[in-house]
Amino acid sequence: MTKFYLAYGSNLNQKQMKIRCPQASFIGTTNLENYKLTYRDNGDGRGVMNIEICKGNKIPVGIYSITEGDEKELDWYEGFPSLYRKELVQVVLNNEKVEVMVYVMNEEGHPYAQPTERYYNTIYQGYKDCGFDTKYLKEVTELNKQNIEKGE
């Protein structure tokens, strides 16, 4: 059985996804309404991307169709269930509302943290793969840096 998976970080990188989840099919792009992107500490000081509720904001996302085997690979990659949990959200895809699974970081003990250059470049390539404006990713990353400097 296949399901829809919403990617917003490094899994936008289609080459990486093809290696990790060879049965996954890229369906298209859309926006996730009322969320913002952040980088949070993954437990070893490195920033990894997360989504957080933010009324009135929207973020560009990619949608994949995945198999059960792909989901198991994603569970491992995302550190499910200790680092990330799974949630179901609705998005509009091809003028139709669809329910998609997304990984969201667990709240406890994850302050803002900067991504490594390699991780950022993987996401940056994913933005290019999906036709997203890379300026938005740069702005998110700069805002994250400011949040760290403020001690948030």
DSSP of 6-55, one letter per residue?
EE-SGGG-HHHHHHH-TT-EEEEEEEEEEEEEEEEE-SSS-EEEEEEEEE
Q: Which residues contact 48 (CB under 8 A, 6 or more apart)?
A: 9, 39, 40, 42, 105, 113, 115, 119
Band (29; pLDDT cuts 50, 70, 90): very high
Residue 99 sits at φ, ψ, to 5 deg, of -95, 130
pLDDT of residue 152: 77
Question: What is the per-residue pLDDT for 107?
Answer: 87
Q: What is the mean pLDDT of the chain?
A: 96
pLDDT at residue number 20: 96
Q: Which of 43, 11, 10 is nearest to 24 (CA)?
A: 11
In the chain, what are the domains?
3-133 (3.10.490.10)
Write down the pTM of the prediction: 0.95
Query: Per residue in 37-96, pLDDT tens?
Result: 999 999 999 999 999 999 999 999 999 999 999 999 999 999 999 999 999 999 999 999
The pLDDT, as a whole number, for residue 1 is 65
Tokens of 29: 């792009």
* Contact assessment for residue 112 and residue 47, using Cβ atoms and an 8 Å cutoff: yes
Sheet holding 84-93, edge to edge: 25-41, 47-66, 3-7, 96-105, 84-93
pLDDT at 134: 98
**Is the pLDDT score of 21 beyond 90?**
yes
Rg of the chain over CA atoms, in angstroms? Answer: 15
Confidence class of residue 151 from pLDDT cuts 50, 70 and 90?
Answer: confident
User: 74-85: per-residue pLDDT in tens?
Assistant: 999 999 999 999
Q: Rounded mean pLDDT of 121-131?
A: 98
Q: Bridge partners of 71? A: none
Burial 60-86 (b: 16+ CB within 10 A, else e): bbbbbebbeebbebbeeebebeebbee
Average pLDDT over residues 134-140: 97
